Structure 1
Amino acid sequence: MVELQLLRPDHAAALLAFERENRAYFAASVPDRGEEYFASFDQRHCDLLAEQEAGVCFFHVLLNPAGEVLARVNLIDVTQGEAELGYRIAERAAGRGIATAAVREVCALAARSYGLATLRAATTLDNTASRTVLTRTGFTITGETQLADRPGLTYFRSLNDFSPPHAHR
C-alpha cells in the first residue's frame, strides 16, 4: 500500500534516489533539472522545507511500504487561496493510476487542510499521461503556454467539491 506524506527532513535520501533514478525518464517530458540540482540537493531540500514551514508551498511524497518515493505532488506559490500543482511519477509506477489517486488526494488536502479554493497546473502538449491525469482529476484547460521551449496547456480546478459539508440546522 502506498502512502502520501508531507515532505520531511528524513525523506531527503529517498527523494534524491527517486530524482536520480528517473532523471532520463522525466527529461523526456519536462526540462531536466541540471547538474546543480543534484550537487546542491541537501541545501535545496532544506530550502523546500523552509518554504513549506512558511506556508508558501506544500510538498508531498508518495511512498511505497519500503519507504521508496514513487511520486512527488507539490503545491507551490500558495497565495490568496490558490496554488499551482506539479507532480512527477516514477517510471516504474506509471500507468497504474497512482498519479491520478495522488493528485486527487492532494486536491482534497488543498481544500480541507490548506484552505485553498483553486488550483492551477500546466503541462506540455506531448505529455499525454499528465494531460490525462489532470482531466481525470477535474482540471479544465484554460489556455496555451510555453514550458521551456515546448508548447503546453494551462489548467484550472475549483476545489469546491472538496469543501466539508455544511452542518444541518
Structure 2
Amino acid sequence: MPRLQLLRPGHAPALLAFERENRAYFAMSVPDRGDDYFTHFAARHAELLTEQAAGLHFFHLLVDDDGEVLGRFNLVDAADGRAELGYRVAEHAAGRGLATAGVREACALATAAYGLTGLRARTTLDNTASRTVLARTGFTPCGEIELSGRPGLRFERSLENEASPRLP
C-alpha cells in the first residue's frame, strides 16, 4: 500500500524519474518546472533537504511497495503554525483516490509530526480534480487568485480540532 515518506537523499533517482515521466502531464495543470530543474536536479534535491532539515518545509513522496514514486505531497513555508500544501500524482496513478488519501495523510502528519494548526492550498479554476480533492479533505475556498496568468482559488483548512492520529 502506498504511504508518504519524508524526502531523503536516497529518493533522488526515483523522484527524478517521476518528474521526467510526468512532465507533460503536470504541465497541463501547473506551470512547467523548466529545463533548468532537470539539468540541476541533484543540487536542487540537496537544497530541498537542507531547507527541510531547517524546518522550513516538509517534503513527502507517495511511494509504493516497489519504491516507485506515485506522488509528491509537500508542506512548504511552515511558519506560525501554518504551511502551504502542494501535491501532484503520477498520470498512471490518477483517478485511484491516491491524491485524496495522500492529502489526508499529509494533514495528519502536519498535526501529529509538525505541530501545524492550519494549511493553505491553491489551484487553478480549471483543475477540477484538485479542487475536488481539496473539498473532500476539508479545505474551503477563501478567495480568488491568479496562478501563472490563470484564474484560481485559495483554500484553507484548520487543523486545530484534529485528533492526533496514530501513524505507523
1:38 aligns with 2:35: no
Q: Which residue of 2 aligns with 1:73?
A: 73
Give yes or no for the alignment of 1:121 onto 2:116: no
Query: What is the SS of the residue equivalent to 1:55?
Result: coil
In the TM superposition, residue 7 of structure 1 has moved relative to its aligned partner by: 0.2
What CA distance in whole angstroms lies between the structure 1 residues aligned with 2:134 and 2:43? 31
State the shift of 1:21 in Å: 0.3
How many residues align? The count is: 165
In the alignment, the residues of structure 2 paired with residue 127 and residue 97 of structure 1 have an alpha-carbon distance, to the nearest angstrom, of 16
Secondary structure at the residue paired with 1:114? coil
SS at match of 1:109: helix
| Counterpart position of 1:20 | 20
Matched residue, 2:153 = 153
| Equivalent position SS for 1:162 | coil
Unaligned runs of 5+ in 2: none
The whole-number CA distance in structure 1 between the counterparts of 2:73 and 2:164 is 22
Identity among equivalent positions (%) equals 67
| 1:117 aligned partner, one-letter code | T
Equivalent-residue separation in structure 1 for 2:90 and 2:127 (angstroms): 14
CA distance in 2, matches of 1:126, 1:148: 13
Letter of the structure 2 residue corresponding to residue 14 of structure 1: A
Aligned to 1:139: 139
Partner of 2:96: 96
- Asked if structure 1 preserves the Cα contact closer than 8 Å seen for 2:139 and 2:155, the reply is yes
Q: Give runs of ≥4 in structure 1 deviating > 4 Å.
A: none
User: Deviation at 1:162?
Assistant: 2.1
CA distance, structure 1, for counterparts of residue 164 and residue 110 of structure 2: 12
TM superposition shift of 1:161? 3.4
Contact 2:108 2:164 in 1 (8 A): no
Aligned CA RMSD, in angstroms, stands at: 1.0
Aligned-partner Cα distance in 2 for 1:154–1:164:
26
Q: CA deviation at 1:64?
A: 1.0
Question: C-alpha distance in 1, partners of 2:152/2:162?
Answer: 27
- Counterpart amino acid of 2:54? A
Corresponding position of 1:164: 164
> SS where residue 65 of structure 1 aligns?
coil
Consecutive unaligned residues of structure 1, counting only runs of 5 or more, are none
SS at match of 1:61: strand
Q: TM-score, with normalisation over the residues of structure 2?
A: 0.96
